[in-house]
Structure 1
Amino acid sequence: MRVDVIDSFDTLVRLRSNWDAVYAADPEAQYFMSWPWIAGWFKRLRYQWLVPAVRKEGSSDYVGFFPVQLRTERTRDGAFHNELRTGGGYFAGYAGFICDPDVEEDGIRAFAEATKQLNWSRLHLENIFVSPRRLRGFLSAFPAPEFLTGKVRRPDDGDGIDHDVYVYVNLPGDWEEFLNGRLGPATRKTARRTLRAIDDAAEYRVTDVTAATLERDLQILLRFWENQWGAKLAARYHPGLPQAMINNFRNMLRCAFEDDALYLPCFGRARSRSACKQP
């Protein structure tokens, strides 16, 4: 296996069809590893980004991609060090790499060996979401005592929430199957009654975001988020953090809309400005 390091956005654009092919072939691929999301994030990222890309010897087509960020951080004692982070670090819900499953073992090993050659003192696998098999294959290339491995402790926000727990639900194929198979009789009855009330109501309506309403609807949605989290995050971390996060949310939601990957139903009065449903 050979590894090329991509650090040019123009090159990243030219590789979209190759990236899409690997994404489609990888059973562990998820949206935050898709080309539209990675490219949209890297286009706006103010830190240096890199993408080690794996290909077979003698082939020009890549079989795996590992987007990362290279950042210079300052420790409490004032010293500076290079830190390598997952490509969507601090923002993506899930991060990691994609790889053709036919060459998974060799590809992941190549990612690890290439990573070891980069200039860093700390490798931070922020929000990495890969199978235990893949993670073991990657980390086994960083043996002790040359490398120290540990789990990063997230700060306690005082809300009693373990932010390392991510909940997901395997949904059935259609809504009726979900209602009949996943909900109890009382909850199912309430859901049907509520939905009928919305469908029959002349005063309210549910609409989907459009190009004409995108900016307005995003503004409403982000205002809900700011009301819920802004003051808390500003007090806990930094006064400018909420606005920086809102800017990131807005940019990436726009990218998702352009890629036809944004589902944003809005609930409001039929003859007035609609308001996005609060999550």
Structure 2
Amino acid sequence: MSSLAIDVVRGVDGFQALRRDWEALFDAQPSASPFMSYDWMAAWQATIGVGGQPVIVCARDAGRLVGLLALSERTSPVMGMPVRRLSFMGERLVAADGLDVLAHPGCARPATAAIVERLATQPIDLLALDGLPADSAMLQVLAWQLGGDTQRAYTLATHQICPYLDLRAGWEEVLSRSRRPHQFGRLLRNLAGLHGFESRAITEPGLAGAALERLLALHDRRWAAQGGSDAMTRPSIRDFHRRVVPALAERGMVRFEELWVEGDCRATYYGFTRGDHYWLYQTGYDPSWARKSVAFVRMGLSIKEAVDRGVRCYDFLRGTETYKFDWALGARVTLRVEAVGARPAARLFATGRQLRAAVEKGVEAIVPRRSLDLLRRWRRARERGREEAAPTLALPRTRAREQEA
């Protein structure tokens, strides 16, 4: 392989111009998650990423794109001084775990090294990469390039715990090792005896949009008492999913799994699939059917169906919710990488970011749950009102709509 050429593409126009090469690179790397696809990034930039500038560090071999690192740059005023912050594109507010360098399998290590070396030369006040895989090839190079830099404070910490389930042993073994195998069988039989019981999987592009709306409706009902959920309440987040679902469905990577009883959808799971990996992203269920354990049964059926499809890894993504460990037998961690420049404004900005996270944890530890729910309802209502008044960036929604136009 010849020496790699590195260039930095900035701005929305440059990002959009990369689409064809990006998709070819994504297709060449079968282990890449849907979170690293062009479609995911485009939907994010058009909604949540508005106000930030795409910064794509590209590695090319004889002109061919063989690696890229997708970042987003925002500038914030601190003490009257602008602070430039670089973070992963496609992560903020949508919980995309495992973002990393997207590289061709044949040159992953040299492409990663060259990209990070170029990144280290950029005039960055704060580099904050949340959700980097613990086995990422970036870690070693980041430590070499930034860990010994006297002009930057470099830190590495655990970010999220991500439970997962290895399905290679087969359904019967997976069920036997779950927390409630006999209860699952009994609850499934009870539900199956009711009128209209049906397990549905929706993957078709023409049906995925309606399935998403059912998911959002059930998610709202589930979290109504708490004023909605941080995961799916904001208008920008909903707009993001309404864009990304049709786009990824066209590529066969979206899957909705529903449980219907007595003429209506009572529980639904929203996830992504590629190769032998499934990522469970979001859930919703009808709280009036909670005593029938519709969410628990739908989870078991989802895992069984994944086994039947040949999935080897069922990934619950970030979060240590108890329901995940009804089934999960292991967990991975993602990491937070932070490099802070020497300017006082940059250090103050980074300290404020850390302080806010610490305060939020402290409040959750000492404030009664009922009071927390009231505070969350107030905050989420305020955020919804603020976002509804803000403009969004016009980007193409899906490949199918572009063709229709």
CA distance in 1, matches of 2:219, 2:180: 30
Root mean square deviation of aligned Cα: 3.4
- The structure whose RCO (Cα within 8 Å, separation 6+) is larger is 2
Superposition TM-score, scaled by structure 2 size? 0.54
Amino acid at match of 1:54: A
**1:236 — aligned with what?**
none
| Unaligned runs of at least 5 residues, structure 2 | 269-283, 286-294, 296-405
CA distance in 2, matches of 1:226, 1:78: 40
What's the % identity of the aligned pairs?
17
| Unaligned runs of at least 5 residues, structure 1 | 154-162, 234-240
Q: Indicate yes or no: 2:48 matched with 1:51.
A: no
**Aligned partner (choices 77, 82, 105) of residue 109 of structure 2:** 105
Size of the alignment, in residue pairs?
256
Amino acid at match of 2:84: N
Q: Indicate yes or no: 2:43 matched with 1:40.
A: yes
Q: Which SS does the other structure have where 1:213 is aligned? A: helix
Residue 107 of structure 1, CA deviation: 1.2
Q: Indicate yes or no: 2:120 matched with 1:123.
A: no
Residue 202 of structure 1, CA deviation: 1.4
Equivalent residues in 2 for 1:1-279 (5 A)?
1-7=4-10, 9=12, 11-13=14-16, 15-26=18-29, 29-44=32-47, 45-46=49-50, 47-56=52-61, 59-75=62-78, 77=79, 79-90=81-92, 91-94=94-97, 95-129=99-133, 131-142=135-146, 143-151=148-156, 164-172=160-168, 177-181=170-174, 183-184=176-177, 187-209=180-202, 210-211=207-208, 213-214=210-211, 216-224=213-221, 226-227=223-224, 230=227, 243-244=233-234, 247-252=236-241, 254-260=243-249, 261-272=253-264, 276=268, 277-278=284-285
Of 142-151 and 205-214, more deviation after overlay is shown by 205-214
Residue 82 of structure 1, CA deviation: 0.6
CA distance in 1, matches of 2:263, 2:139: 53
Residue 131 of structure 1, CA deviation: 1.8
CA distance in 2, matches of 1:213, 1:242: 16
> Residues 244-271 of structure 1, C-alpha deviation per residue, up to 9 Å, x if partnerless?
3x53145225412432233222334433
CA distance in 2, matches of 1:43, 1:231: 23
Residue 164 of structure 1, CA deviation: 2.4
Say if 1:196 and 1:43 are closer, same or farther in 2 by CA, change over 3 A: same
Amino acid at match of 1:201: L
Of 142-151 and 16-25, more deviation after overlay is shown by 16-25
Residue 83 of structure 1, CA deviation: 0.5
Say if 1:221 and 1:49 are closer, same or farther in 2 by CA, change over 3 A: farther
CA distance in 2, matches of 1:92, 1:242: 11
Q: Which SS does the other structure have where 1:202 is aligned? A: coil
Where is the strand percentage greater, Structure 1 or Structure 2?
A: 2
> Residues 225-262 of structure 1, C-alpha deviation per residue, up to 9 Å, x if partnerless?
643764786xxxxxxx9743x53145225412432233
Residue 152 of structure 1, CA deviation: 6.2
Of 118-127 and 264-273, more deviation after overlay is shown by 264-273
Q: Which SS does the other structure have where 1:119 is aligned? A: coil
CA distance in 1, matches of 2:74, 2:263: 50
8 Å Cα contact 2:220/2:228 also seen in 1:
no
Q: Which SS does the other structure have where 2:244 is aligned? A: helix
